[in-house]
Amino acid sequence: QVHLVESGGGLVQPGGSLRLSCAASGSIFSINVMGWYRQAPGKQRELVAGITSGGRTNYADSVKGRFTISRDNAGNMVYLQMNSLRPEDSAVYYCNYRRLASGSSNYWGQGTQVTVSS
* CA 69 – CA 20 distance, rounded (Å): 9
Length of the chain: 118
pLDDT, position 103: 87
SS3 87: helix
pLDDT, position 15: 98
Is the separation of the CB atoms in 109 and 22 below 8 Å?
Answer: yes
pLDDT along the chain (118 residues), means of 10: 96 98 93 96 97 95 98 88 98 96 93 97
Strand partners, 39: 92
Residue whose C-alpha is closest to residue 36's, from 52, 49, 25, 46 = 49
